[in-house]
Structure 1
Amino acid sequence: MKKLIKKEKVTDKKFIIIFILIVFSFFHDLIKDSFEKNLDKFDCSRIINLIQENKKNIEIYNNLSTILKNDDTIILENNSSIKNFVLILGESISRNHMSLYNYQHKTTPLLDTLKEEGNLFVFKDVISPHAQTIPSIKKIFSFLSYESENKKAWYEYKNLINIVNKAEYKTFWYSNQESYGKYGNIPAAIASLTNYSFFNATKEALDNDLYNAFLNTFDKNKGEKNFIIFHLMGAHASYGNRYPDNFNFFNKNDYNFKFKSKYNDRVVEYDNAILYNDFVVSNIISLFKDQESIVLYFPDHAEETLDFREFIGHGDANYSKYMLEIPFLIFVSDKLKNSNPNLIKNIKNSLNNPYMTDDVIHTILDILNINTPDFDKTRSIINPNFNKNRKRILIDGKNYDSDLKNNL
């Protein structure tokens, strides 16, 4: 409120009115029910705990940002020339609910078209290392992998943003997720390393809002080479809040559910969220299709939606293969296809490679033609020297290929 008052967006008078309304709504609830029933709302310890928690979150964010910015990244070779590299990081998107991956409902009509036109390459066998956001993000943006999990803290590994900054890319982060708190501190700390960051984390925000945010800010901040990240809310629960009313397309009557469940309606909502995600991702791609650009899209993890049990959601504590099986897509503009035919050849030859995105930093650096002491070409999915025999070991030691892939 103080910041808004300083910016003259909220006057002192309006602030007082808002404060009175908040207090009134609080006491109205007390009067409406019994005083005894709501007595716990007067518990001052809850307010104190909240203040302490917020203070702790701010300290965590500041400490992380400081540690990550104290960088001594070494680049052995920098032959990067791609004008625009775009990373679209999705949220809770399962490839098993995308028509692009042969799902029965037409949930990705726009991406389907891009594939048919020959500019979108669809990787068939990619999984996330975790079934929740934060542990996945730690591995996506650094050289941390399951093999090195317990050797040192994730933030002690070299990270992607510092590397591309040093490789003379102008870096951008556009996010529709929260910028603070238990789930926001780590992504926000990584985002703070970019040259420009924008967070649109309001309750009503939709992912396509980032499209307009980009249009309003990019041209005046862009460089010769640009590395741009869009962090979406995707199909994160609650699914019905992830898309506008005009994307309420699928109907429960069109579904043959495996079993009757209280979650049947939510499966339909999830597919509507996938349909909207198709629109958002395609919209972002359209921003770069006429320039020398490459767009990489994948989500942090997938989602289970009544696939074999009465359960909807995700999480490492109760994970299944359906929470890990993600789409992995690369869009290449015509200009880049013409200027870099060898890259296109390598991408086409790698579509069936088994991959886990704790190694994705190697793929990104390989595409950009940047070499560092930690880069390993055998861990890049598009590299001719890619190691197809690397085991995909999960959080509890299970092997995805032998224990989960063909089960359930």
Structure 2
Amino acid sequence: MAATSRRTYLFLIAFFSLIGMCYTPIGLNYGYPDVNAVGSLIYTNGNETAEYISGLSVFTYLTAIAILVLMIFALKVNITLSGKSKKGLLALFFISAFWSPAKGYIKSGFEDCSELFDTSLPEVRFFSDAYQSYQKVMSENNRFAQIIKYRDDWQPVVKEGKYDTYIMVIGESVRKDFMSAYGFPTKNTPWLDNANATVLTHYISAAPSTQLSLTNSLAMREANELHLNNSIVSLAKKAGFETYWLSNQGMKGGFDSPVALIGQQANHYTFLKEGSSDDRSYLPDENLLPYIRKALVKDGQKKKLIVIHLMGSHPQPCARTDGKYGSYFHSQNIACYLQSIQNTDSLLADIEAIANKNQLHWAMLYFADHGLSFVDKNTERENLTHNDSHKQNYQVPLIITGYDYSTENAIENADQSKAGKHIIDAQRSGLHLLPMLATWLGIEEPRLISACDWFSNQACQNQHTVISFSNEYQDFNHLKDDSINFH
């Protein structure tokens, strides 16, 4: 019996320690295994996992090592207890761990056995939370997979407009404070710096991760539920636009992500990372150019909406630039991050050149899905990663330009202007982006009528709310600051 107890003890120590070591990289950044953490694991492929791990802070690695050392120490410790002491400790453990769950089970009339797992005991709660979160993610995905099959119920009215081609470029993981277009001293956005455009200086993303942000920005939310069938793509399609979704992000992991499902609503869609057939570390966004050129060919009388979803500045940044960068700032990782933003700027310039060459009456909107937070700040290992506790996780660019933008019409009715820019300083939230996109496309829809004039400096209501990793609303204004250290 003593030998069996000893083996059980050793197994449990090793089991929970190894689980703790493996979950440390996620737990320290995302917290307990909630829906976002589990969803991120499901949607992330092997390459992105490796990139994520390589960008972790030293503290994360030290924590994992500490768990390993404590595990070895615990395995070697040999404490002899009397039989009575063992029984007493075991009873104390079960009473403290399961007193509250047992009460809940009794109150449920012995019907809800899940109450027995509703304990704050970490070893039980971890698996309970992970299982419940997995069930929620799978349930949501099944719901999304079903609802995406439903016909949209948009009722669009298209107004006469001066544009025949609308280009929406979605950047990835871009903090606006790292762009020279928003004041960063290194000139890494030369095209945006010089473009006549409308610039929103206080736009905040809906959420701090791609799936949460884009689904809540590009699809209709009613009664606190997302309806992916009613997306910006299906709206434009219903309004008679020829629609395109060109993506440098994946379509299939274990199953299609919600954003990929929105993309597949388009008349024409391309995913460079479809499945794992083309899943390489370095797949630059410029590989989308042949598909962009094809989409920007002038043909027919239909208006077009072309959505271009970039890999952009996704961690790890040096994987985005093949380790190359122009100017050094703080660390190699940050230098690569600056270069990745410049690469996106170059791609925007290429898109403009193609559209002009084809003599299109085009308009282009560029924004990013979310920002990032510093790790190992003010060290030579300084890097950026996902987080939801800082303002910079949500502060992203949003810029609109077009073939007919000039200094005159860019600053028309603007309160502030500079170098052909119409500057909008009023705060705007990505949770209310869909009505603005409809207005931009010249589409009227009864459910998308908004009292907020996005294209003015009007102070609008409810523009400070964002979504956290746990898919809960939080006040952006109450978040901590994670600004760049220029000293």
Please give the TM-score of this superposition, normalised by the length of structure 1.
Answer: 0.70
Q: Deviations over 1:142-177 (max 9, x none)?
A: 133xxx6xx343126732111111111000010000
Deviation at 1:179, TM superposition (A): 0.6
Q: Unmatched 5+ residue regions in structure 2?
A: 1-136, 416-420
The 1:349–1:93 alpha-carbon spacing in structure 2 relative to 1, beyond 3 Å, is closer
Paired letter, 1:215: R
2:477 pairs, out of 390, 393, 401, with 401
Q: Which residue identity is paired with 2:403?
A: S
Rounded Cα–Cα distance in structure 1 between residues aligned with 2:226 and 2:179? 32
Counterpart of 1:185 in structure 2 is 257
Deviation at 1:64, TM superposition (A): 3.5
Distance in structure 1 (CA, Å) of the matches to 2:393 and 2:202: 14
Q: Which residue of 2 aligns with 1:333?
A: 403
Counterpart of 2:286 (choices 208, 218, 225) is 208
Tell me how far 1:224 sits from its aligned partner. Answer: 2.0
Instruction: Decide whether the 8 Å contact of 2:175 with 2:397 is kept in 1.
Output: yes
Alpha-carbon offset, residue 88 of structure 1: 0.2
Q: Does 1:288 align with 2:361?
A: no
SS in structure 1 at match of 2:288: helix
Please identify, of 391-400 and 264-273, the stretch whose mean Cα deviation from structure 2 is larger: 391-400
Match of 1:366 among 427, 431, 439: 439
Offset, 1:112: 1.2
- Quick check: 1:319 aligned with 2:399? no
* Cα separation, partners in 2 of 1:218 and 1:178, compared to 1, 3 Å: same
The match for 2:306 among 224, 228, 232 is 228
Equivalent of 1:75, from 150, 155, 167?
155
1:135 is the counterpart of 2:212: yes
Larger radius of gyration: 2
Structure 1 residues 105, 220: CA separation in 2 closer, same or farther (over 3 Å shift)? closer
2:183 counterpart (96, 99, 102):
102
C-alpha displacement of 1:126 = 0.9
Amino acid at match of 1:85: Y
Which residue matches 1:42?
none
Does residue 1:275 correspond to 2:347, yes or no?
A: no
**Which deviates further from its counterpart, 307-316 or 296-305?**
307-316
Task: Kindly state the Cα deviation for residue 94 of structure 1 after the two structures are TM-superposed.
Answer: 0.9
Q: Which residue of 1 aligns with 2:425?
A: 352
Residues 98, 337 of structure 1: alpha-carbon distance in 2 compared, 3 angstrom cutoff:
closer
Are 1:120 and 2:197 counterparts? yes
Whether the 8 Å contact between 1:176 and 1:232 is mirrored in structure 2 is yes
Deviation at 1:206, TM superposition (A): 0.8
Q: Is the 8 A contact 1:100 1:111 kept in 2?
A: yes
| Number of aligned residues | 328
Letter in 2 for 1:296: L
Deviations 1:94-123 (A, max 9, x none): 111111111121111222122xxxx22221
CA gap of 1:178–1:329, structure 2 versus 1, over 3 A, is same
Q: Is the 8 A contact 1:126 1:356 kept in 2?
A: yes
User: Does structure 1 retain, via aligned residues, the 8 Å contact 2:198–2:400?
Assistant: yes
| Cα distance between partner residues in 2 of 1:71 and 1:380 | 30
How far, CA to CA, are the matches of 1:250 and 1:349 in structure 2?
A: 29
With over 3 angstroms needed to count, the CA separation of the structure-2 counterparts of 1:191 and 1:221, relative to structure 1, is: farther
1:183 and 1:325 mapped to 2: Cα distance? 30
1:331: how far off? 1.1
Alpha-carbon distance in structure 1 between the residues aligned to 2:151 and 2:426: 33
Q: Does 1:90 align with 2:171?
A: yes
TM-superposed deviation, 1:87: 0.5
CA distance, structure 2, for counterparts of residue 104 and residue 156 of structure 1 = 40
Q: 2:244, 2:295 within 8 Å by CA — same for their partners in 1?
A: no
Contact map agreement 2:164 2:361 (CA 8 A) in 1: yes
Q: Distance in 2 between matches of 1:62 and 1:343?
A: 47
Percent identity, aligned pairs only, is 19
1:383 and 1:167 mapped to 2: Cα distance?
A: 26
By how many angstroms is 1:243 displaced? 2.2
Q: In 1, distance between residues paired with 2:197 and 2:428?
A: 18
Report if the CA contact (8 A) 1:377-1:383 is conserved. Answer: no
Matched position secondary structure for 1:130: coil
Asked which structure has the greater RCO (Cα within 8 Å, sep 6+), the reply is 1
- Taking structure 1 as reference, are residues 142 and 209 closer, same or farther at Cα in structure 2, changes over 3 Å only? same
Aligned position for 2:6 = none
| Aligned residue type for 2:308 | F
Pairing 1:382–2:451 present: no
- Kindly provide the CA deviation profile for residues 330-354 of structure 1, in whole angstroms up to 9, marking residues without a partner as x: 11212x779x969965797661121
Structural RMSD (CA): 3.4
Q: Which amino acid aligns with 2:475?
A: N
* 1:157–1:210 CA distance, 2 compared to 1 (3 A): closer
Q: Could you tell me how far apart the structure 2 residues matched to 1:407 and 1:91 are?
A: 19
Cα deviations by residue, 1:123-147 (Å, 9 ceiling, x for unpaired): 1111112111100011121133xxx
1:127–1:326: 8 Å Cα contact kept in structure 2?
A: yes
Deviations 1:180-228 (A, max 9, x none): 1268521221111100001112313210111122224553877520000
CA contact (8 A) 2:180 2:187 kept: yes
Is 1:391–1:399's contact at 8 Å kept on the other side of the alignment? no
Over 3 Å counting, the alpha-carbon distance change for 1:389 and 1:250 in structure 2 is same
